[in-house]
Amino acid sequence: MWKGRQLSRSLGLAKGVKATTTIGLTGGIASGKSTVSSILRNLGAVVIDADAVSKRVTRPGTAAWRELVDAFGEDILNPDRTINRRKLGGKAFDDSEALKRLNAITHPRIIGAIKREMARAVKSGRVVVIDAPLLIEAGMTDLVDQVWVVSVDKETQVTRLMARDHFSQHEAESRMRAQLPLDVKKKYADRIIDNSGSFETTKAAIEELWRQLSSH
């Protein structure tokens, strides 16, 4: 499923890559997208981290920050007035209406910021990767040529998420439920990356996909 979107066709060539390409990298929470994006960055890709973009568009004093505080209360704030993402998540992820409100406030701004970063990135002449957990849910697949889905089993997701973010099992599972099931995400995938094994195995798989890009 090679989409060939108009925006990505304007992308220049990354070193060793013959086809202009933008990649949407997604998967379940705690599936290892950061590991995959780090490998791609080392291979020469420009990586746009949607999570980092989200933090920028919701920094104190921004319109999104004010709307979030109005919608969810000042108790979602840290002492320095930044958003406490865990507290915000605790209010949003167990309430479908609250989650819709959160997404309505943040998604348009995140997408707009990503588009601006992409417009700058294509001028670098390198492959561009959007690392976005909600790539599909936020309707960003039209921005990219290919969708790569990082896959692990549910038990591994829960274990990694609890260890990484110190979540309870309930917190971990509620955040997983807020995303599309992995089986649904796989239906959008041009490439599926199994990240349930060792780092070396995942790295070898990514390097092979990079070689395949070079052959087009």
Average pLDDT in the 68-88 region? 96
CB 98 within 8 A of CB 104: no
- For the chain, list the domains and their CATH numbers: 6-214 (3.40.50.300)
pLDDT digits (tens, 9 = 90+) for 15-62: 444 336 899 999 988 899 999 999 999 999 999 999 999 999 999 999
Q: What pLDDT score does 84 carry?
A: 97
Q: Give ∠ CA 87-101-58 in degrees, rounded to 5.
A: 60
Q: Which helix (H) or strand (E) holds 46?
A: strand 46-49
pLDDT digits (tens, 9 = 90+) for 204-215: 999 999 998 877
Which carries the bigger pLDDT value, residue 1 or residue 42?
Answer: 42
Q: What pLDDT score does 162 carry?
A: 92
d(CA 117, CA 48): 7
CB 65 within 8 A of CB 83: yes
Which carries the bigger pLDDT value, residue 201 or residue 16?
Answer: 201
Q: 216 falls in which pLDDT band (50, 70, 90)?
A: low
CB 145 within 8 A of CB 34: no
CB 67 within 8 A of CB 119: no
% of the chain exceeding 90 in pLDDT: 66
How far out from the chain centre does Cα 105 lie?
17
Q: How many CB atoms lie within 10 A of CB 131?
A: 27
- Does 2 have pLDDT greater than 70? no
3-class secondary-structure state, position 83: strand
Q: What pLDDT score does 195 carry?
A: 93
- Does 1 have pLDDT greater than 90? no
d(CA 48, CA 69): 26
pLDDT digits (tens, 9 = 90+) for 128-149: 999 999 999 999 999 999 999 9
Q: Give ∠ CA 135-73-139 in degrees, rounded to 5.
A: 15
d(CA 4, CA 11): 11
pTM of the model: 0.84
Q: What pLDDT score does 7 carry?
A: 41
Q: What pLDDT score does 213 carry?
A: 84
The DSSP call for residue 77 is B
